[in-house]
Amino acid sequence: MRRGFEHELAEIQDLLTEMAARAGSAMNTATQAMLNADLQAAQAVIAGDDVLDDLTGRIERACYDTVARQQPVARDLRTVVSAMQISSSLERMGDLADHVAKLTSMRHPDKCIPEDVRPMFAQMGTVADQMATRTAALLGTPDLAGASAILAMDDQMDQLHRDLFTAVLAPTWTHGVEAAIDTTLMSRYYERYADHAVAVVRRVIQLVTGDPFPLTATWPPTAERDRPAGG
Amino acid sequence: MRRGFEHELAEIQDLLTEMAARAGSAMNTATQAMLNADLQAAQAVIAGDDVLDDLTGRIERACYDTVARQQPVARDLRTVVSAMQISSSLERMGDLADHVAKLTSMRHPDKCIPEDVRPMFAQMGTVADQMATRTAALLGTPDLAGASAILAMDDQMDQLHRDLFTAVLAPTWTHGVEAAIDTTLMSRYYERYADHAVAVVRRVIQLVTGDPFPLTATWPPTAERDRPAGG
């Protein structure tokens, strides 16, 4: 029974790792599409989002089947339920890559962000990429050091998000209202993408530390994460 | 055993209904705070968000305890897991009310939205209120007609969100970039609030219809829900 459970769990874990890798590559392609106003790349991201949605369905089904067959309790049950919650977060990361791609394709053949904020978005793309890669690795081999590294990257993303607000609101901003809004929304998509990676990490920490409810506490102690994007 | 399960489930259901009511009243107060630049109201919403976070923790704990004690299978198990997912969505609705309140308090004593879009936000507040009230009712007494009504309200919210984009991007917009961004973000908070109510409704539909995975299908058949807010 135990071996059956572990076998099924390993399969679910593989699906989660695949989802994280796909959410990462979706955002990478979306970033390239945005930076280069590349319509084909944007369309590839939009078309690929269904795969992530299907994977979420498959994981949810696999989790229910495992619970029905193996009747896990305590920590094992929490692991299975966490897998479903993690897959929701990964699906949402894919949705946000899809948002970046859709906004890009809507503005095509124009670029939807002005040249002077391009380096900041390139950096956001890099941070998003690192977070997704590390998250995929963490789902394969959970460890707290890896988790901490991802949380530190989220702080970088938050800083970039604030920097973009500063740029858009500066008197030197000459690109008008529409570009300001596109820039703000794009920035928020990346920031939320990072937040969902953090949600995954917290679930993993929950499982590694054995503390079933760290989500109600503050871990790690850090500046208020939930300020609105306008701040 | 069955009675024990139903008793525990009823308690969880009460907590969910309480959460929905609180998420509703948080957004109501936040809307009033925003419309009237009422700092005290905004602060009340921000202070109250902890209660919703605590309720999420309590529900999660209660769900795990129920599964451990009652070992539910099949539909019963799905009900318990759905309760956790519903509580995550309700918590997120509370977060979005908190975002509205925080942006309001940041701009105080100024209003953060210009007078000419005020009626649209007043309407968004009304729709959000109705959605939350109906969602709370649905959690008490699940029925498909109530679910459909909430989904129709989400369409209204999406339309208001689009109308606000049109207003901000019109040549008649004279309020500059910062007000445009605040207006866009506020609008997005309401739109996302409605989306989370829809996520709750879909989980309830899942339980009522007995179809465990309607989330991977499109129900109801409606125009693309997931377009980016920039659209």
Q: How far, in Å, are B47, B67, B150 from residue A89 at the CA level?
A: 26, 23, 24
Of B53, B84, B230, the CB nearest to A103: B230
CA distance A113 to A104: 9
Q: What is the model's pLDDT at position B181?
A: 95
- The minimal CB distance from A228 to the residues B77, B88, B103 is found for B103
Mean pLDDT of A211-224: 42
In this predicted model, which residue has the larger pLDDT, B67 or A132? A132
Lowest mean pLDDT among A10-19, A79-88, A219-228, B24-33: A219-228
Q: What is the pLDDT of residue A221?
A: 33
Residue B69 — pLDDT band, cuts 50, 70, 90? confident
Interface contact flag, A57 B213, Cβ < 8 Å: yes
Q: Which of A93, A105, A185 to mutate to test the interface with B (most CBs of B within 10 A)?
A: A185
Query: Which of A34, A177, A195, A202 to mutate to test binding with chain B, by most B CBs within 10 Å of its CB?
Result: A177
Q: Is the pLDDT of residue B221 over 50?
A: no
Q: What is the ipTM of this complex?
A: 0.84
Please count the residue pairs, one from chain A and one from chain B, whose beta carbons lie less than 8 angstroms apart: 132
> Residue B34: pLDDT above 70?
yes
Is A182 in Cβ contact with B177 (below 8 Å)?
no
Nearest CA in chain A to B50: A216
**B102 contact residues in A (CB cutoff 8 A):** 227-228, 230-231
Q: Which residues of A touch B177 (CB under 8 A)?
A: 168-169, 173, 176-177, 180
**Residues on chain A touching B213 (C-beta within 8 angstroms):** 57, 60-61
Residue pLDDT, tens place only, A19-60: 999 999 999 999 999 999 999 999 999 999 999 999 999 999
Q: Among all residues of chain B, which has the CA nearest to that of A182?
A: B230
Q: How far is B34 from chain A (nearest CA, A)?
A: 14
Higher pLDDT, B217 or A126: A126
Stronger pLDDT, A138 or A206, i.e. the higher one: A138
pLDDT digits (tens, 9 = 90+) for B159-211: 999 999 999 999 999 999 999 999 999 999 999 999 999 999 999 998 887 76
DSSP type of residue B58: H
Q: Residue A213: pLDDT above 70?
A: no
Q: Residue B164: how many CB atoms within 10 A of its CB?
A: 23
Domain layout of chain B by residue ranges: 2-216
Least confident range of A6-15, A61-70, B99-108, B144-153: A61-70
How far apart are alpha carbons B84 and B69 in whole angstroms? 17
With contact defined as beta carbons under 8 Å apart, do A113 and A182 qualify?
yes
* List of long-range contacts for B72-76, beta carbons under 8 Å, 24+ apart: B72/B5, B73/A67, B73/A68, B73/A71, B74/A68, B75/B207, B75/B210, B76/B5, B76/B9
Query: Looking at residue B212, what is its pLDDT?
Result: 55
Residue B216 with chain A: CB contacts under 8 Å: 53-54, 56-57
So what's the pLDDT on residue B78? 87
CB A186 within 8 A of CB A98: no
For residue B111, the 8-state DSSP code is -
Going from the C-alpha of A187 to that of each of A32, A182, A194, the distances in angstroms are 15, 8, 11
Q: What is the pLDDT of residue A70?
A: 87
pLDDT at residue number B71:
84
Verify whether the Cβ–Cβ distance A177 to B169 is below 8 Å: yes
Q: Which residues of B touch A46 (CB under 8 A)?
A: none
Q: What is the pLDDT of residues A130-176, one digit of tens each?
A: 999 999 999 999 888 999 999 999 999 999 999 999 999 999 999 99
Q: Which of A64, A73, A182 sits opposite B212 (nearest CB)?
A: A64
Per CATH, which fold does A2-216 belong to? Methane Monooxygenase Hydroxylase; Chain G, domain 1 (1.20.58)
Mean of pLDDT values over A63-73: 87
Q: Which among A95, A212, A228 is the nearest to B185, CB-wise?
A: A228
Residue B170: which region, alpha, beta or left (left: phi > 0; alpha: psi -120 to 50)? beta
The structure tokens listed for A146 are: 């890896």
Cα distance between residue A183 and residue A167, in whole Å? 10
Alpha helix ranges (H) inside chain A: 2-36, 39-70, 74-107, 118-140, 144-169, 176-209
Tokens coding A111 = 């670029």
How many whole angstroms separate alpha carbon A72 and alpha carbon A8? 12
Answer whether A230 sits within 8 Å of B57, measured CB to CB.
no
Percentage of the residues of chain A whose pLDDT score is greater than 70 = 90
**Where residue B57 falls among pLDDT bands split at 50, 70, 90?**
very high
Q: How does the average pLDDT of chain A come out, rounded?
A: 89
Res A212: pLDDT: 55
When pLDDT is cut at 50, 70 and 90, the band that residue B1 belongs to is: low
B86: pLDDT strictly greater than 50: yes
